[in-house]
Structure formats: C-alpha cells, structure tokens
Amino acid sequence: MFARRMDRVRQAMAAQQVDALLLSVGPDLPWLIGYEAMPLERLTMLVVPAQGQATLVIPGFEVPRVVERGDLFTIRGWGETEDPIAIVADLTGAAGTLAVGDHTWARFVVDLQHTKSDATRWVRSTGVTAALRAVKEPEEVERLQKAADGVDRVAAALHAGEIPLVGRTEAEVSAELSRRILAEGHVRVNFAIVASGPNAASPHHHASDRVIQRGEVVLCDFGGVTAEPHGEPGYCSDITRCVHTGPVPAEFQEAYDALQAAQAQAVAAAVVGTPAEAVDKVARDRLSQAGLAEYFIHRLGHGIGVEEHEDPYLVSGNGAPLEPGNAFSIEPGFYIPNRWGARLEDIVVATEQGPLALNKANHDLVVVDV
C-alpha cells in the first residue's frame, strides 16, 4: 500500500515539476509512510527527492517509534546538538521547487527558506498529495466504514435514551459522547459538538455549561480517528444527529422533514461524474422549497480520510466531477438565530455502483425524553 502511494506521489511530483517533497506534522506523512510526526519543537521531516531514496529526518530518540518500511525511506536520526534544518537543506541539494506539507510549522519553513537560494520555488504539498488522497483505495474505505460503524453505535445509544440529556450541561453530554467514541474503536476524539435549543443555531457551537431543557432540540456532531495497528494511519469519522427532548413543535418537525428529504436527495445525487457543486445544489433547492435556503449557511460537505476535512469539497464553485473512491460528508442544515437549528450528516463514498452511505444510524428526529 505505502510503496504504491510513494510511486503515485513521485509521478505527481514529476508532472508538477516538484524537485523535493517535504512532509512534517499533518496528515500527508501518515498517509504516505504510516508515521505521524510529533507536533513538537524538534523537527521531524520526510524528504522525498524526485529521484533517489526518501529520508526521514527525526529526533534521534524518536527513532524507535518509527516502523521501518523496507527501502521506502531511510531514517536519519539527529542528535540534540545537531541542526536538523541544515540536514534537510543538505538533502534537498540544489532543488529548484520544494513542496512543503500544509501543516508544517512556520518556524521550520522560515528557517529553511533562509538556507536555500532565492531562486528556490516554494509550493504547498497539497498540489502533489490532495488529488491522490481524495481517491480512496478499498482498504481506506474499509477503515472509513469501521469509523462510521463506531459513531453509528454511539448515535444508536443516543437514540435509545442511554445518554441522559435533560438536566445535564452540554459539556457533560459532550464528555460522555467522547468517552463512548473512544470505547468504539477510536484512538482520538476530534470533536463532540452538543448544541441545545437556541445554541443549535450555531453550526460550530462549543459544548457549553448550558443545562439542557425538556422540549428542545439537541444537535450532536461528533467524530474521531480510528485506532489502527502501530505504524498504520487512522481514518476519521463524522456524524450529526439531532434528537428532541419531548414533544416536537409542528413548525420544527416540518423544517426537519425538509432537511431529512434534502439530505437523502443529496446522498442519492452523489453519483460518479456529477459535479460536486451540483450535489450541494440538490440539497439547497430542496431546502429552498421549505423556505429554509437562507438559513443553510455553509457548504454541503467536505472530503474525509486521514484528515477530518480534505478534498473534495461539495460547494458552489467546485465543478470537479465526483470520482469513484471520493469519500465526503453530506451535511445540510438550517440555523435560525436565537431560535433553533438542525443538521443531518452522513459520510458517503462515490462508487461505480452508486453512492455508498457509510452511516446508517436512524435519520429521524427521535424524541428522547431523558
């Protein structure tokens, strides 16, 4: 798997005339060689020259963390008194164009730029890796399915009333969701949004000390990274379900029904060859029939893989057709300030056989009177 990825990366580098790829913290590195750099002040950087062996420059005492991968890369541990920037500068030789990982700390990029000649061209690694990462291989889809199954079970517990809501703070419910995500095969929780009542009108609301009341919506949007064998990258989950604590006002139920229809129609429209923005439009058109279009204030979805948000983005302006293996969220919502809001989100894979929804948890607005 990793050797194949390295081959594809080198082909992309050649096509874009990139002389060396430099990857540090962030998702490109684990995707490419299975190693996740520690986000610390000591530099870890994989140097992939257009020709010749790749080298992982890493603090000497972190070398034991690395799973070696045959001749995919060699390891260059550096001692506490060595200068890792000089080592990387040396490995890149007289390279003309350097592609740097998007998440690389500015301090390392700035220091590196000082060591290279002014003629060096600096580009982002995204140009090399994003299109490759956006097309999932079968084993990646399996891991995304495993991730989705894990959070589906948490959603099922929420629907079954196993997670008390009324009388607890959003933060307490968020903490419980987090514990359950970890218990369901995840190594890390990326977020556990709990937004109750009027707070549901804020899409990225932070779980607060607001106490959940009876008779209101509770929007839960949560996800994390799957636990995988040492040296293998984890994949992300991301799901949103809304529950209602007690009887649902007719007006809210009507709006939710439109949202549920919009989400289902958008999933069905996520067919290979369809422009990403057209899928967004399907959901937007359905919500506009219900008078809710102006309250759907974000794009329909984002790609997902080793990173929570990555290509492709389902948004107006992205005319790129969906490809087999693209994995992305479909998450329309409506947000009415100071009143209420709702969102419904699944992860979907575009396949030759049609859209494959990985999340299967109940999509209804379930009344949970606990």
Residues within the interface to Zn ion (CB under 5 A): 221, 238, 240, 329, 345
Shortest CB 308 distance to Zn ion, Å: 7
Residue 330's DSSP bridge partners are 346
Identify whether the C-beta of residue 242 lies closer than 8 Å to the C-beta of residue 234. no
User: Which of 145, 329 has the CB closer to Zn ion?
Assistant: 329
Shortest CB 159 distance to Zn ion, Å: 17
User: Which of 197, 332 has the CB closer to Zn ion?
Assistant: 332
Q: Which two tokens stand for residue 342?
A: 């709702």
User: Which of 55, 329 has the CB closer to Zn ion?
Assistant: 329
Angle at 59 between CA 38 and CA 76, to 5 degrees: 120
Asked whether the bond before 312 is cis by omega within 30 degrees of 0, the reply is: yes
DSSP states along 85-97: HHHHHHHTTT-SE
DSSP states along 289-341: HTT-GGG--S-SEEE-SSSSSEEEEESTT--PBP-TT-EEEE--EEEETTTEE
Shortest CB 216 distance to Zn ion, Å: 20
User: Which of 128, 348 has the CB closer to Zn ion?
Assistant: 348
Instruction: Work out the number of other CB atoms within 10 angstroms of the CB of residue 297.
Output: 12
Torsion angle of the four alpha carbons 254, 257, 259, 260, in this order, in degrees rounded to the nearest 10: 170
Shortest CB 45 distance to Zn ion, Å: 30
User: Which of 178, 329 has the CB closer to Zn ion?
Assistant: 329
- Looking at the chain, the number of H-run helices and the number of E-run strands are 9, 17
Q: Which two tokens stand for residue 333?
A: 């919502």
Q: How far is CA 40 from the centre of its chain?
A: 22
Shortest CB 204 distance to Zn ion, Å: 6
Shortest CB 367 distance to Zn ion, Å: 22
Which single residue is written with the structure tokens 């948490």?
154
Shortest CB 99 distance to Zn ion, Å: 27
Side chain identity at residue 51, one-letter code: Q
Strands (DSSP E) contained in the chain are 20-23, 45-49, 54-59, 73-78, 97-100, 121-124, 186-196, 217-226, 239-244, 301-303, 310-314, 327-330, 333-336, 340-343, 346-351, 354-357, 366-367
User: Which of 54, 348 has the CB closer to Zn ion?
Assistant: 348
User: Which of 2, 222 has the CB closer to Zn ion?
Assistant: 222
Shortest CB 232 distance to Zn ion, Å: 23
User: Which of 76, 302 has the CB closer to Zn ion?
Assistant: 302
